[in-house]
Structure 1
Amino acid sequence: MTFCVENEVDAHFDFDPDDVARKVAEEVLKQEGCNFEVEINLLITDDDGIREMNSEFRQIDNPTDVLSFPNVSYETAGDFSVIEGEQKVDLINPDTGEVYFGDIVINENRVRSQASEYGHSEKREFAFLVAHSMLHLCGYDHMEADEAAVMEEKQNLVLNALGITRD
């Protein structure tokens, strides 16, 4: 897996965001049964940066905590067989042979404020946002209550497997 992290706001945490993001992404892919070598980009930005993207791509002129930009179009969430189908030519990076999986954008300010609000560490909040976004990159959504419940359960399984809890 190629996992590129760009920290455009030079955010400093008491954990290594590159390491945490990679471990969470790997665990999501493992639990989802994705056997493809993938490329993922993660951008750490601030309220202004994510607000601009949220406005441009979702027409919501407010900052948010995380944005996900999946590159794979799934018929069924977590069914990676679509990668072998018609989309394959558009998904494979010819230089690396890896599947370009998508992009994640995390708001440093929300990592800090939500960690405080929910009473857990910034590392846990950051890991949660990566897990959440990775599930979006795997085709999951949370528009309906049943979809949200599935995502919540999967996020908890990933974080628990890595020992990143609310404690």
Structure 2
Amino acid sequence: MTLYFEEEGEIKLPLECETLAKKVVEEALDYVNCPYEAQVNLLLTENEQIHEMNREFRGIDRATDVLSFPMIDYPEPGTFDFLEEEEDCFDPESGELTLGDIVISKEKVLSQAEEYGHSPKREYAFLIAHSVLHLTGYDHMEEEERQVMEQKQREIMERLDILR
């Protein structure tokens, strides 16, 4: 698994961001039984930048905690068998499955950790697990989807032993 990690802005999280991100992405991909080596891009930014992205890409004029930009349109969440015929889903140089991009607001990680009464590490890991599920076809637009996704997030966090 390759994680392309980038950080911008002055705010720093009190944890080893790249190492933890790689661990969470790998665990989440193992959890959903992704049969391929994969690559993910992760950008840590601040509220102002994620606000601009949220407005530009989603038409929502406010900062958010995390944005996910999947590169693959899954016919069914967490299914990978259809990818055999989808050559453009794989990086031509590495052969890895190109899952997409994750953007996280460091300010939201800190404020939500405080709001929910847990550590910045837990909040950061949770947002990455949440986003990897999006990158593998899961969503939470409908109540049933939300319940499935929340259960998967809990189980990934338990497997990582990063609890509230």
- TM-score between both structures, scaled by the size of structure 2: 0.97
Q: Secondary structure at the match of 1:67?
A: strand
**Partner Cα separation in structure 1 for residue 47 and residue 150 of structure 2:** 25
Within-5 A mapping of 1:7-156: 7-85=7-85, 88-156=86-154
Aligned residues: 164
Which stretches in structure 2 are left out of the alignment for 5+ residues? none
**Partner Cα separation in structure 2 for residue 44 and residue 149 of structure 1:** 27
Alpha-carbon contact 2:11-2:107 (below 8 Å) kept? no
Alpha-carbon contact 1:11-1:44 (below 8 Å) kept? no
Report % sequence identity.
Answer: 49
Residue identity matched to 2:28: V
Alpha-carbon contact 2:139-2:145 (below 8 Å) kept? yes
Deviations 1:121-148 (A, max 9, x none): 0000000000000000010000111111
**Partner Cα separation in structure 1 for residue 128 and residue 120 of structure 2:** 12
Residue identity matched to 1:12: K
Alpha-carbon contact 2:76-2:137 (below 8 Å) kept? yes
Q: Secondary structure at the match of 1:115?
A: helix
Which stretches in structure 1 are left out of the alignment for 5+ residues? none
TM-aligned CA deviation for residue 13 of structure 1: 2.1
TM-aligned CA deviation for residue 95 of structure 1: 1.3
Residue identity matched to 2:3: F
TM-aligned CA deviation for residue 82 of structure 1: 2.2
Q: Paired residue for 2:162?
A: 164
- The structure-2 alpha-carbon separation of the partners of 1:10 and 1:37, relative to structure 1 and needing over 3 Å to count, comes to farther
* Alignment RMSD: 0.9
